[in-house]
Structure 1
Amino acid sequence: MRRILYIEDDLDNGSWVKEDLESRGFEVNWLQSGEGALQQVSAADLVILDVMLPGLDGFTVGQRLKKEAPQTPILMLSARTAVDDKLQGLQFADDYLTKPFHPDELAARIEVLLRRQGLAKQITLGHLSIHMSDYRITDNRSGEEIILTGKQYQIMLYFLKNPNRILTKEQIFEAVWGDPYLDGDKTLMVHIRYLREKIELDPSAPAIIETIRGIGYRVRQ
């Protein structure tokens, strides 16, 4: 059964959405605030998140959830129709649905996001298979698992979320470490060197993580 983490403080909306989704075969864990969401997102296949919440707003909660579980799709719900609000939500969310909405539209968007997630659960890069659902990388030639450190996997995951894009050192560092990048800091360069030693056939001539001189790095898919 597919599991949805649903975060909505409005009791009327929450009740009918939960009832409707359960009638469609979903298991729905309904929270009325963002409290406890970080502890429960790992068990969810998808998150439905309202913008207007007591305490932390949905944008803040969503950003934290995406950092905790980057592979889990987030569908934002909001009565706000302003373009700026939608753009703010879509900086981290995978879809944005404006209230009021028809239950069939909500269900259809959920299905699209879950299909997209299913297709992305395994990615092939040259001789590598990346299994997104359980954070494993294997060598297709031998079937052996390549063990990465937490930071190495976060770097790799950030590349995979931004395929074919040239990413600056600043973007990568701030996404993975959550701190501002300081010019001249060699931390990222060292981590990428060690990551290449594990995943590249020839680390001295990397084919997976390309160096874009003077800018940053890119991973092609």
Structure 2
Amino acid sequence: MKTRKVLYIEDDREIGSWVQEELEQRGYAVTWLLTGDGAEREVPGHDVVILDIMLPGLDGFTVGQRLKKAAPSVPIMLLSARTAVEDKLQGLQFADDYVTKPFHPDELAARVEVLLRRSGAAMPERLKLGQHILVDLADQTVLDERSGEEVVLTGKQFQILMYFLRHPNRILTKEQIYEAVWGEPYLDGDKALMVHIRHLREKLEQDPGAPEIIETIRGIGYRIRR
């Protein structure tokens, strides 16, 4: 079994040292950063992110949104002493888990394992969409098997597709998709997401007028079939 790699961002040296030691004793390879500055360059190649919210400079919410855009398939666990529902809801717009301090190391390790199993089961290295689209997550490429040519997506199109793939067969609202991808509140009437979905369908669907991959759920949002 390969060594699982954890990107850990925590400015408290005492807590950070303790968590790093606990995880390494369980067989993880831990990259520990004291701030979120430049974390986007570190996240590729890691299997999971553990991110403290209270950081110097950029806070964990901002850092987490940037990491999710840089590496959409890498699950993020937020750590925080904040217990307010509002904080949890804000964090779970982009993160995959939210753990409040204090926590037991066994609980932390168990939650990391759940994220790894979930991401591994949901996101194999290659995914087939419809009858002809092959997504290679390792290379971050999309291939049309009919022509053998790569489907070139813009950054936003790829982020939207990855968000769908992390939530297969689940109905997602426009607000959920927009706030996860753009990292800012959705304004009613904003057409940006609709335009990106239309262009994405033009590139992925056999018949964009009768989509089989990205379905419209009238009055709610969208769903991707896998």
Same fold (TM over 0.5): yes
Letter in 1 for 2:52: D
The question of 1:126 aligning with 2:130 is answered yes
Between the aligned partners of 2:22 and 2:113, the Cα distance in structure 1 is: 14
Letter in 1 for 2:211: P
Of residues 57, 60, 63, the one that matches 1:58 is 60
Letter in 1 for 2:142: I
TM-score by length of 1: 0.81
**Corresponding residue for residue 24 of structure 1:** 26
Q: Could you tell me which runs of 5 or more consecutive residues in structure 2 were left unpaired when the two chains were aligned.
A: none
Between the aligned partners of 1:173 and 1:52, the Cα distance in structure 2 is: 25
**Corresponding residue for residue 201 of structure 1:** 206
**Corresponding residue for residue 44 of structure 2:** 42
- 1:49: Cα distance to partner? 0.8
**Distance change in 2, residues 1:117/1:133 (3 Å):** farther
Cα shift readout 1:52-98 (whole Å, capped 9, x = no counterpart)? 21122222221221222221111111122233322222221111112
Maintained 8 Å contact 1:174/1:181: no
Between the aligned partners of 1:190 and 1:99, the Cα distance in structure 2 is: 41
Letter in 1 for 2:44: S
- 1:39: Cα distance to partner? 1.6
Between the aligned partners of 1:82 and 1:42, the Cα distance in structure 2 is: 31
Q: Could you tell me which runs of 5 or more consecutive residues in structure 1 were left unpaired when the two chains were aligned.
A: none
- 1:109: Cα distance to partner? 0.9
* Residues 1-221 of structure 1: pairs in structure 2 closer than 5 A: 1-122=3-124, 123-127=127-131, 128-139=133-144, 144=148, 146-150=150-154, 151-163=156-168, 164-168=170-174, 176=181, 191-212=196-217, 217-221=222-226
Maintained 8 Å contact 1:121/1:131: no
Indicate the SS of the match to 2:44.
Answer: helix
User: Could you say which structure has the greater relative contact order, defined with CA pairs below 8 angstroms and 6 or more residues apart?
Assistant: 2
Between the aligned partners of 2:104 and 2:190, the Cα distance in structure 1 is: 52
Indicate the SS of the match to 1:43.
Answer: coil
Q: CA RMSD in A?
A: 2.9
Indicate the SS of the match to 2:157.
Answer: helix
**Distance change in 2, residues 1:107/1:220 (3 Å):** same
Between the aligned partners of 2:98 and 2:171, the Cα distance in structure 1 is: 23
Maintained 8 Å contact 2:16/2:32: yes
Letter in 1 for 2:153: T
Maintained 8 Å contact 1:49/1:74: yes
- 1:8: Cα distance to partner? 0.8
Indicate the SS of the match to 1:88.
Answer: helix
Letter in 1 for 2:75: P
TM-score by length of 2: 0.79
> How many residues get paired?
218
Maintained 8 Å contact 1:86/1:96: yes
